[in-house]
Structure 1
């Protein structure tokens, strides 16, 4: 669809809004000083307005462009700079919702939303500059500036837990060349159950090997990533699957903290004393704790807080649309009929043999 232009603000409107806010926040002594300075600097402000209008002329969504460019130039580690956490409401449809059941429901909801992007818009169309870079998108580290890369026709998510990193199918093409649609809930659920039935990750399969790297200072991670890609092999292939996934889902082996503020930190940084289970390059991370408390981590350079809130609300609403009877029936089913490959319901851990790679110390999280 055509993108809507972001209008260049009118100076008088901007000053009126600024004055309204400052009148409420400044002391009675300071506000008259503001008004006096404003009248003295009117010509300077008008010249600045002309420069802004000239710079933005003919450019759609110039505000989003500036917003993204500045954040993508930030070299600080993402967990402590641009990661936005959100805690989802508890499930109302399933009061005793188990961890894996809720995880599968959230993955199904993401698949539904990804295949039908209009679901987040409600009755009216919205400008999709940010929405188009939410799912199947990654923040790729660069030497001077990162980039948001979107992967087309992606059908899988990655599930991260103490057992490793797994590629899980969540979408399908019911007919060759046709539109994609979510896999039925039992297919997704059976894969998640299989993941959690595995032994803890072996050395080359530990999730912290790659998740910890994504938490590094961006230029350091960019250098290591280039080494991985140059070396090729299993590590490069696994990294490709992670970067191209629709979404990353982390399954914690601990309950969420009792305090909401602590829960927000656990969603963003990880719970307990276990390994880092967040893949910060992925624009959206889902997190489900052992007690089924769920949250989301958004990469701020791809979307702002309002869009993150709309996405979180829609994902939660869609996950709640799975009825109790449907979930109970599905969780007792093998659900393998609709899978494209015979072994898709038994995903294997991705391997990250990083021997010979010059790794920077990934212990950057507080």
Structure 2
């Protein structure tokens, strides 16, 4: 492993020097799979799952051929990771709507700026970031002496997910179709369902100044003062299930030649800016609007959409297929850690007068108008059927470390205790673990529930258990959590490996002679372990207040948390039919956090 001073300082200069994601053996993944699912199963379910795993590991099992194909692929020229086919299948292969289901958001820290000033500052900072990225001058991330993959930064600008009938594709720079950095000079600005093309780079490539950008944005507010009719706000279509949206997009292209230019203006734009005509009444409303909002004023397929409300409150909505939270946090931290005028000056911005502002107009026939109207109504109902809430603690990572505990372990154990108390069960829990220290590294799927967590929750729920025993159970569970997280960081996790084998069989099972059904994928262990009751992910940054995403199933609570040195903010989401369970979870979490805080603070010092 290279030490920090040896790493390249160019943004993408270390990609070929990073280690590869380790490919586990079948035996290792199956051993871990059994260990991971075991706490969630009954004795009968364990036996059935064990039998399915034994069959999976037979010398003549189709799984052997599938794994051999994965090994061959991993060793192929040009392949940086055995997960290189997995990520497109996982993200671009999903067929439900991505709006609310897959996209995520960050709510930025408050600002005293008004809407136009805030939006102009964010645009200037983002354009400055793009200029640095084009020159490969964004410093690569190096943590604990290890460089991290910066490949995801190639998907920040002029990147749009394009719907497909079977699987989506991605329009992006740095690709065979569009080599090199993004060449667009404009952004797409939405206001009251109207879309405008706004130049942010002049003809010679120099950015417009803050004052120029502000003038352009004021022009958008004036030109878009009349709200677009619901049936004309084409952004609604991006909320549809993917194959349905693909059909609608083809209908758009067939309806009028000019619609191709309109799509090009949006899909080729560097990013979107969505201006809202109201100020959120609460932090939770701001979060909800960042997650879904008025879909006529969004283009959910766009990789990056900066959203600014009438009072200057701002945040970002992100399409997930090419971008994970860690990349967006780095981007946002850079945008918000330096005054906008400094960003603008560094970018070489020049006064050029008000930039070109042009309406982006689609020509729709009656059938397309009905399609847009129906999509908007369906998504509004879907958003209304999603319950959300925020929870905040005046207690953060510094205090947890003072209790001699990993902040993330403390958070996850509190979630488990609150979940048991609110729902009466311990359910499958997902946590995203970053693995960007590898080539094309993204995330690993960690399953949180362990035997140690079951014992901890049981100790807390047994009124006869003394504090010392509870503390010991907590410490054991926290240590196990930290240990498993480290294994995931090192690529020692079973789920994505086994899942990719399943995908290989679906794609190539017949030519590989590996068509026999594999009972593992129908086993209780596989189905129960992956049926999330809690889907959790953290985003630690002092520049954001909240982070959020939708739940992943009808029984799931999405738990997005920002664990800062002195604060801990959570955004929770779940389907409205089970909303009371989420609100009960929130109430129990408040109790559990204080209870654990007191338990650890009053205990004997740990060795």
Question: The TM-score by the shorter chain falls in which range?
Answer: 0.7 to 0.9
Q: Distance in 1 between matches of 2:187 and 2:83?
A: 31
Pairing partner for 1:114 from 102, 107, 130: 130
After superposition, the Cα gap between the structure-2 partners of 1:120 and 1:357, relative to the gap in structure 1 and judged at 3 Å, is: farther
1:99 aligns with 2:121: no
- Tell which structure's C-alpha radius of gyration is larger: 2
Correspondent of 1:267 among 268, 276, 290? 290
Give the equivalent residue in structure 1 for 2:153: 131
Alignment partner of 1:321 is 2:339: yes
Match of 1:211 among 228, 231, 235: 235
SS in 1 for 2:85: helix
Q: Name the TM-score, length of structure 1 as normaliser.
A: 0.76
Other-structure match for 1:177? none
Partner residue in 2 for 1:364: 378
Distance 1:263 1:127 in 2: 32
**Aligned residue in 1 for 2:509:** none
1:101-143: CA deviation from partner (whole Å, max 9, x where unpaired): 1111111111111121242635686423322112111001111
Give deviations 1:196-255, integer Å, cap 9, x for gaps. Answer: 123534758x79621101111211221121122233343332221001001011111122
Q: Which residue in the other structure is 2:365 paired with? A: 355
* SS, match of residue 286 in structure 1: strand
Residue among 248, 252, 262 paired with 2:272: 248
- Picking from 134, 151, 156, the partner of 2:186 is 156
1:19 shift after superposition: 9.2
CA distance in 2, matches of 1:219, 1:196: 34
Q: 2:225 aligns with which of 172, 177, 200?
A: 200
* 8 Å contact kept, 1:158–1:247: yes
Structure-2 separation of matches of 1:172 and 1:166: 17
SS at match of 2:265: helix
SS at match of 2:130: helix
Post-superposition offset of 1:90: 2.2
Compared CA separation, residues 83 and 120, structure 1 to 2 (3 A): farther
Q: How does 1:339-354 map to 2 (within 5 A)?
A: 339=352, 345=355, 347-354=357-364
CA RMSD of aligned residues (A): 3.8
1:293-308 → structure 2 map (5 Å cutoff): 293-308=313-328
In 1, the alpha carbon distance for the partners of 2:299 and 2:220 equals 17
Equivalent residue, structure 1, for 2:72: 54
1-side partners of 2:226 and 2:54: how far apart? 67
- The match for 2:261 is 237
Contact 2:91 2:321 in 1 (8 A): yes
CA contact (8 A) 1:99 1:290 kept: yes
Alpha-carbon distance in 2 for matches of 1:88, 1:196:
22
> In the aligned structure 2, how far is the partner of 1:300 from the partner of 1:54?
28
* Alignment-derived partner of residue 69 in structure 1: 89
The CA deviation at 1:290 is: 1.7
Q: Return the offset for 1:158.
A: 0.9
Q: 1:163 to 1:346 in 2, by over 3 A?
A: farther
Report the Cα offset of residue 77 of structure 1.
1.4
* Cα distance in structure 2, aligned partners of 1:129 and 1:44: 38
CA–CA distance in structure 2, aligned partners of residues 283 and 61 of structure 1: 23
- Find the counterpart in structure 1 of residue 195 from structure 2: 165
Q: How far did residue 52 of structure 1 move?
A: 3.9
Q: Show structure 1 runs of 5+ residues with no match.
A: 175-179, 331-335
Count of aligned pairs between the two proteins: 338
Distance 1:337 1:314, change over 3 A: closer
**Equivalent of residue 211 in structure 2, options 186, 207, 214:** 186
Higher relative contact order (CA 8 A, sep 6+): 1
Uncovered stretches (5+) of structure 2, i.e. residues with no partner: 1-11, 174-181, 384-607
Contact 1:5 1:61 in 2 (8 A): no
Give the stretch that moved more between structures: 294-303 or 55-64: 55-64
CA gap of 1:155–1:18, structure 2 versus 1, over 3 A, is same
Secondary structure at the residue paired with 1:301? coil
